[in-house]
Chains A and B, each alone.
Chain A
Amino acid sequence: MALSTERLGLFNPAKPMENRLTDLGPRHFWQYFPPIIQQNYGKWAYHEILEPGVLVHVAENGDKVFTVRCGGCRFMTVENIREICDIADKYCDGYVRFTTRNNIEFMVDSQGKMEALKKDLMSRKHVSGSYKFPIGGTGAGVTNIVHTQGYIHCHTPATDASSMVKSIMDELFDYFQSMTLPAQVRVSMACCLNMCGAVHCSDIALLGYHRKPPIVDSDVLESVCEIPLVIAACPTAAISPTKTDEGKKAVKIKEERCMFCGNCYTMCMALPLSDQKGDCVTVLAGGKLSNRISPPRFSKVVIPALPNNFPRFQETCEAVKKIIEAYAKDANKYERIGDWAERIGWERFFEKCDIPFTEHLIDDYRLQYDTYRTSTQFKFTEAAWAVSKAVGGIE
């Protein structure tokens, strides 16, 4: 049965339940595995990264599959996907794979095909000059950034995603195409605290953040929101019921209690938070989720706010680069950013990255005690001398 072209296709609005197929689930994965993958399923012996972006996996029987990994945009049009299909048809018998981090993987079964494929991929550019399918994203480098929707589709963002990711990846492009870092660096980006991208365990996480309490749209609030749910939604109990001068039911916000999480807006459209001047980018660092050597750990806030400087986010790009360069220079082989920061001490991290430490970076939320340093083991840095001077302990 071909795809239909009638306006409503196979759907009959007069009988909406007629011929309705439900609960089919996803299609089965096996049919999408290229023959070399099917034949060697569960029989892979080892792999090597031949060069940045190019892997060979060797099976127990000696079979080899060569993978060429390319950076992709999470946002892509059908034109781009059709071009991916053209490449897959030309070199890979029509098979292609996407990775969790929005990369595209083309697999071939011989070195000869792999060389031709590589040449083809790097020759493809958009008319305005950017690569369509840059090869890289393997090993001790920076791979693609996972991110959220931002202004492309979302109603709660505190910044945009696609533009920031494009800008950061332009800045880090050489790290995408090389393997010169002490370990892999995973950069992730989320437009608000909802983190549909779950960036909280990344080497570097970029997070859009609101900084102004919600505005109460009291003209409509009582008719579009469930007031008890709105009040219950606030984690700091900053929202309480009130009445407007006209006698309408509304809510009031204890502004000094607001931590700008936006949970109230999720529950109630009459409490918008976004604001051109207030919204900002928060930078976190040192998280990971692999269990390798050290356990998975959360990213920590290292820069509380950078401006939403559309469309290129220069300050954010510079900050990310600064952290990666300091890490590249100082960390030991196999150390992730967080391993490095813990070894040298976070006080030294701020010094080496040349990032100012402010009170915003000290946790004052519920689990703050877990972060207190309760020992005399610390390192002297300028930040420590500043405290000593302030109390008259030193000249």
Chain B
Amino acid sequence: MAFEPREEQKQLKYQELRIFSDEELHNYTEEELKNFKIKHDIPFCEELEKGRWPSFVADAKREALHRKKLAQDRMMIERDVVEDLLGQLEVSFKHGETHWKHGGIVGVFGYGGGVIGRYSDLQEQFPSIAHFHTMRVNQPASKFYTSDYLRTICDLWEYRGSGMMNMHGSTGDIIFLGTFTEQLEPIFFELGHVLQQDLGGSGSNLRTPSCCIGKARCEWSCIDTQDMCYELTHYYQDELHRPAFPYKFKFKFDGCPNGCVASIARSDMSFIGTWRDEIRIDQEAVKAYMGGEIMPNGGAHSGRDWGQFDIHKEVINLCPTQCMWMEGDKLMIDNKECTRCMHCINVMPRALRPGKDTGVSILLGAKAPILEGAQMALLTIPFMKTDPPYDNIKEKVVEPIWDWWMEEGKNRERLGELIQRQGIPKLIEVLGIPAMPQMVKEPRSNPYIFWKEEDVPGGWKRDIKDYRSRHKR
């Protein structure tokens, strides 16, 4: 099957789009790089060139040299921006304090997010990073790229910005690190007109949604994570660019309960693929695992001798619900008792596969500690079938939640905090769903139930005289 974009996608050919010539791109030798010293003294930074792990300082230095050897009119901000960044980093190490000023309201017209203003507080010493604004560029779902796209982005960003980036920011965007205010609009126009590419979210907006690799290269994905991510991102562009929420809001899409994109811990609305039928079993492959013909867990433990694979010790006894057993040489699963933790499937991927009747579980309210402590997401919708364009998710889940949160949420209150403040009973009322025991680990141990008047026979209106007719003072 192939997925179709909402709008026709412009073909991007680097050869037609490029700014820099091959000579400009290869303008220094290895020897020059070895002997290259940046204009500031940076012994702490240079210490970070040692060791085996890739050194970001070594990488920054080659960009510094590359810029130094480009003509200044081939870049719209100062060529020594990388050198000044390393210089300020060195001073920050010495002072043990950051040298970026607080805040800075910059952006592109009509958007309330996507650009983070940043100014150095050492502008005399490091004038080329006096402005160091960041732009968030909305990554394609699950971060596959072609070199044509990436090279074009690189030319654009080296020409109009610092040439320094994050691949990727924590939320998922491509991050352009550091440019001056004047270049924000030109970069936005180039992204839109040339690359057919938009900015991501920041501020009290829908943040850039992200997803795991899904069915593109994983046998366990129960949902089309990329397609859901793409569709919901496009459908909610207004919410992503124009702040109307009490605070940030994140969607993340995991294809299975292994949770490679960590949606359960860091998204206000976490979509996790699951199934409701039976784990598919290939009994021949089970025997092959037991006979040692196939390495358990796809070879993930092959660096150490853990001894002969033992299906009882490694699978059946570790099953959290104890819903598996052997009958002769056949592996049996009581699927109705299974909680789909993925362990047996992870250990024996060639013998066991998720079921075929798949859908999505929806969990709400995860967030990092600011302010009332970290929260993990609350299991709210156990299972939901959904098909493109996911109207039932939009209409029955996303929009009622947003309406409630926008109405009731306080300034800088995340959804998880609102749920805690008003309670799960309010949440299920908002969604129009019944309570289920799966929403909690255990029922409440205090009986302090907020009974509503209509729950109680006869209501709350009583007459003290009537009471006193039976009870003397």
Contact = CB atoms under 8 A, between A and B. Distances in A.
A192 B461 CA distance: 53
Interface residues of A, number: 151
Contacts of A372: none
Interface residues of B, number: 167
B47 interface: yes
Interface stretch (B213-221, B383-391, B452-460, B463-471): B213-221
B262 A289 contact: yes
B205 interface: no
Contacts of A73: 54-56, 59
Contact of B262 (A33, A107, A201, A334): A201
B164 A130 contact: no
Interface in A84-140: 84-86, 88-89, 94-100, 102, 107, 126-134, 138-140
Contacts of A134: 52-54
A198 B163 contact: no
B48 A311 contact: yes
Interface string B177-191: 110001001111110
Kindly name the residue among A11, A52, A170 whose own CB sees the greatest number of chain B CB atoms within 10 A.
A11
A298 B56 CA distance: 30
A46 B9 CA distance: 32
B106 interface: no
Interface in B58-92: 58-60, 62-63, 66, 76, 82, 85, 88-89, 92
A138 to B, nearest CB: 7
Contacts of A28: 3-6, 9, 140, 230
Contacts of B44: 163, 310-311
A291 B259 contact: yes
Given A48-B299, A95-B144, A333-B314, A81 B371 contact: no
A81 B167 contact: yes
Contact of B306 (A94, A127, A229, A333): A333
Contacts of A29: 3, 140-142, 144, 226, 230
20 contacts: A2-B17, A5-B19, A8-B186, A16-B185, A25-B240, A30-B4, A42-B215, A48-B298, A51-B302, A57-B219, A74-B168, A167-B51, A169-B53, A195-B374, A196-B170, A201-B262, A290-B259, A291-B264, A293-B343, A296-B265
B320 A293 contact: yes
A85 B44 CA distance: 30
Closest 10 CB pairs of A and B: A139-B300, A276-B96, A170-B51, A269-B102, A28-B5, A77-B63, A21-B192, A126-B58, A195-B368, A85-B147
Given A47-B349, A76-B166, A334-B318, A151 B92 contact: yes
Interface stretch (B148-156, B328-336, B394-402, B428-436): B148-156
A197 B190 contact: no
A218 interface: no
A200 B301 CA distance: 26
Interface in B1-51: 1-6, 9, 16-19, 25, 30, 33-34, 44-51
B154 A78 contact: yes
A185 to B, nearest CB: 12
Contacts of B157: 78
B105 to A, nearest CB: 12
A141 interface: yes
A181 B304 CA distance: 8
Contact of A333 (B194, B230, B301): B301
B283 interface: no
Interface in B294-311: 295, 297-304, 306
B78 to A, nearest CB: 14
A268 to B, nearest CB: 8
Contact of A3 (B6, B89, B168, B194): B194
Contacts of A133: 54
B210 interface: yes
A85 B76 CA distance: 24
Interface in A323-357: 333-334
